[in-house]
Amino acid sequence: MIKALSTTWRAGWLTGLLAAALLSLAATTTQAALPTPGAPDLSARSYVLMDYATGQVIVERDADRPVPPASITKLMTAYLAFQAIKAGDISLDDKVTVSENAWRMGGSRMFIEVGKEVTVEQLLQGMIVQSGNDAATALAEYIGGNESSFVAQMNATAERLGMDETHFENPTGWPAEGHEMSARDIATLLTRLIHEFPELYQFFSQKSYTFNGIKQYNREKLLFRNDWVDGGKTGHTEAAGYCLATSGEREGMRLVAVVLGTESDEARNNQAEALLNYGFRFFETVDVRNGGETLATPRVYQGETDQTPVGLREDLSVLVPKSRRDELAVSLKLDSSLVAPIAEGDALGRLVVRLGEDAIAERPVVALADNPKGGLIKQATDSFWQWWDE
């Protein structure tokens, strides 16, 4: 009787365990089968949603189409100002004498006065928060010596950053023939600005600025809607329409959104917000491996040591749909028969990241330390073992 009960209990336990396993598998299968919803359909002339960490594009439409960018141009003016500050060529406390050329600028202004001295910091706030064309021009003249030389620096920097569909005619975005940027180029520029100048980027999150007794609010309305949005730049002219480049960070993931050529201020805000919400809701950035982390210590023949640590030069992250994270697989393939001398940084293999059947990232695996040739006896001994192992 006891044996029968025991057998019955085991059978029930196994049945329950199998049922639980099948339920778990069914739940996993159901989750994996859920497709990622389609991206929002926007009316903007062109747009792009980019992952900051990887540079991967989540959504785009005509992202390489060059169009008038209006005051989004000032992102490049800010980039060059930040670069000059970081290099020590200028400082936030430097005083700039306002020229008549800067004072006469039309459009949005911070209301500087000709002949008066203002600091670089004040001009940055006036340009970024108040979108002052007068401030942008004063900064350009101060940094470049004159406006035309500064514009040449803008174009040279765009070329260096790989902004192939960009050409500048002025530092403000004032309408001019041939003055154009693409949505992808703008996203690239904003990404680089955030990455290279994190401390100065805080100017873009400032909600208001008062100068000369005049208080103006940041035209980037998403700053007032969402506490995870930390800045960007608006633009508007008749030719450009209403434009916005913005960025936000949630749960350690940063996205950059650019919308160009919308029909109103409200439309540009709503459409950029829709892109950001879509990206944060359905995608995630996964850290794969850290740069400098030892991934393996392969056998090295004829070296001072028998093994050499290998890894990636830089951190590697990938962007994936949240529903497919479990499909990520990482494989490391090292070159066969590694022979000294090996110098730190030498490529010794490849790391491949796959999402299902598709390779989504590939990076060289490099030596993390030198391994010079060993002595004659070591070389002779290892030559034998190399022959034997092969």
pLDDT tens for 55-77 read 999 999 999 999 999 999 999 99
**Sheet containing 57-61, strands listed edge to edge, beginning at the edge strand earlier in sequence:** 57-61, 46-51, 253-262, 241-250, 229-237
CB-CB contact of 131 with 219 (8 Å): yes
Catalytic, 86? Answer no
Residue 60, strand partner residues: 48
CB-CB contact of 248 with 267 (8 Å): no
Burial of 290 (0-12, 13-18, 19+ CB in 10 A): middle
**Angle formed by the axes of helices 183-196 and 74-87, nearest 10°:** 20
Q: Which residue in 74, 99, 221, 247 is the catalytic one?
A: 74
User: What tokens appear for 32 in the block?
Assistant: 């994996």
Give exposure, 206-228, as e/b (b: 16+ Cβ within 10 Å). beebebeeeebebbbbbbeeeeb
CA 68 to chain centre: 23
Q: What is the mean pLDDT of residues 100-116?
A: 96
User: What tokens appear for 352 in the block?
Assistant: 């491949």
Residue indicated by tokens 């040449």? 152
User: What tokens appear for 235 in the block?
Assistant: 């633009």
pLDDT-derived band at 143, boundaries 50, 70, 90: very high
Q: Which residue in 71, 108, 182, 247 is the catalytic one?
A: 71
Catalogue all structural domains in the chain, each as residue range(s) with its CATH number: 46-283 (3.40.710.10), 290-389 (2.60.410.10)
Amino acid, res. 331: S
* pLDDT (tens digit per residue) in 308-331: 999 999 999 999 999 999 999 999
Cα–Cα nearest to 232, from 44, 66, 71, 65:
71
> In Å, how far are 51, 117, 205, 214, 317 from 200, measured between CA atoms?
21, 22, 10, 23, 25
pLDDT of residue 389: 67
Spatial neighbors of 353 by CB under 8 A, at least 6 apart, are 288, 316, 318, 328, 329, 330, 359, 360, 361, 362
pLDDT-derived band at 43, boundaries 50, 70, 90: very high
d(CA 246, CA 190): 8
pLDDT-derived band at 27, boundaries 50, 70, 90: very low
Cα–Cα nearest to 297, from 334, 271, 260:
334
pLDDT of residue 304: 86
CB-CB contact of 142 with 169 (8 Å): no
Q: DSSP secondary structure string, 195-240?
A: HH-TTGGGGGG--EEEETTEEEE-S-THHHH-TTEEEEEEEEETTT
CA 304 to chain centre: 41
Residue 358, strand partner residues: 355
* pLDDT (tens digit per residue) in 232-289: 999 999 999 999 999 999 999 999 999 999 999 999 999 999 999 999 999 999 999 9
Q: Give yes or no for residue 123 having a pLDDT over 90.
A: yes
Q: Give yes or no for residue 385 having a pLDDT over 80.
A: no
Burial of 246 (0-12, 13-18, 19+ CB in 10 A): buried
Q: Which residue in 46, 99, 108, 131 is the catalytic one?
A: 131
Q: What is the pTM of this model?
A: 0.84
* pLDDT (tens digit per residue) in 337-367: 888 899 999 999 999 999 999 999 999 999 9
Burial of 9 (0-12, 13-18, 19+ CB in 10 A): exposed
Spatial neighbors of 83 by CB under 8 A, at least 6 apart, are 157, 196, 197
